Structure 1
């Protein structure tokens, strides 16, 4: 029964219905679609796979460290990795995205009253709360295992990218679900990779993505906020 309870908590945390505004962001994908780089199921799979690789090299291992920090109630570690992540957002859109979603998730968790005082004090000490910090905080408050939380965040990111493709290329619903299913092995590989990287191996180097994000900031017609 306990395993079922924790699974349900993970499903709720990774659900697209979580009111943090994820559906309003494309993480640069809308600009790639506008440029014609993503135009069908095959190119969508290639884009999401590459994007997942970037996340596996930086955002996911930062989340892994934040999960460890919250579990140990180590405010210094949480603050360090939070600041590192915010500093690594290299466009205005990407920075605004993670701060808005992090704020929304942390506020939600506070209103649900599931976190202990030590966790709340750590969160209160952060001047800015990006999404990985809020997600790690929520996972610890809900007693979701670190491995499950990492998979949950990666899956929710990939699912959101798939939904952007369904709505904006557009892809059919069956194509979208086929795409999502085909990416399960890549999500698992990304989670494994994130857990073994040393601190000096972390990198968010993705100049093409950064340029697309900058272009999206001045794109004439757009649906998404990033």
Structure 2
């Protein structure tokens, strides 16, 4: 997987993918909190398996290919197509929690981009984080492949940070886990690039169950 970008684009990508970006991704565990509480995830190895499955069968088949389609729609000025793929992204969220995660972070990023003078072609629309990420990447001339890697990294860093608190993991374990999962990112991106429109979508029932049950937990560290 070749990634080429300008120095300015790389710096913007680092900004866009940073955990310090004020979009609130750290507030959501995306089902992981319930999975830990239920005993489905109890160790670093089980955390790796949980996240690897989502990367291969979730992000690689939904978020990443949709980022590509939103980016290309922006390149071609096809706003109707951009709106279509934005709605598609939101429709892929299987629970209220996963939908809230997507819209809360997406709308927060859009508010931030407005302050940074990035044009908004989707005013007064609920925006997926994927769509907002594509808007920023296209405006800042970040290479498409680099943008895909940045989106995956943003998700992965938040999920490992959540696991560090919940499993719990030590800091060294968390860094080792990030290193192991990084090795899966190129294959996930290649998968995303290869999919036709008819092949988009994922089926992760355990994730959906964990997310749906999370809101009924007696106590929670993360939003639901």
Query: Could you state the TM-score of these two structures normalised by the residue count of structure 2?
Result: 0.94
Quote the residue 2:63 is aligned against: 59
Whether 1:13 and 2:16 are equivalent positions in the alignment is: yes
Quote the residue 2:100 is aligned against: 96
**Which of 26, 36, 44 does residue 47 from structure 2 map onto?**
44
Offset of 1:189 from its aligned partner?
Answer: 1.0
- Superposed CA RMSD: 1.2
State the SS of the aligned residue for 1:13: helix
Answer with 204-213 or 176-185: which moved more: 204-213
Q: State how far apart, in whole Å, the 2-side matches of 1:55 and 1:9 are.
A: 22
Q: State how far apart, in whole Å, the 2-side matches of 1:168 and 1:211 are.
A: 18
**Which of 80, 105, 111 does residue 107 from structure 1 map onto?**
111
Answer with 19-28 or 89-98: which moved more: 89-98
State the SS of the aligned residue for 1:16: coil
Offset of 1:127 from its aligned partner?
Answer: 2.2
Offset of 1:3 from its aligned partner?
Answer: 2.1
State the SS of the aligned residue for 2:160: helix
Quote the residue 1:139 is aligned against: 137
Q: State how far apart, in whole Å, the 2-side matches of 1:17 and 1:68 are.
A: 27
Quote the residue 2:193 is aligned against: 195
State the SS of the aligned residue for 2:220: coil
Q: State how far apart, in whole Å, the 2-side matches of 1:29 and 1:187 are.
A: 20
Query: Could you state the TM-score of these two structures normalised by the residue count of structure 1?
Result: 0.93
Answer with 15-24 or 68-77: which moved more: 68-77
Quote the residue 2:160 is aligned against: 162
**Which of 14, 32, 36 does residue 33 from structure 1 map onto?**
36
1:71-90 equivalences under 5 Å are: 71-90=75-94
Residues 83, 122 of structure 2: 8 Å contact kept: no
Offset of 1:85 from its aligned partner?
Answer: 1.2
Q: State how far apart, in whole Å, the 1-side matches of 2:90 and 2:198 are.
A: 17
Residue ranges of structure 1 left out of the alignment (5+ in a row)? none
**Which of 200, 205, 208 does residue 206 from structure 2 map onto?**
208
Query: Once superposed, which parts of structure 1, at least 4 consecutive aligned residues long, lie more than 6 Å away?
Result: none
Offset of 1:214 from its aligned partner?
Answer: 0.8
Q: May I ask how many residue pairs the two structures share in their alignment?
A: 219
Offset of 1:143 from its aligned partner?
Answer: 1.1
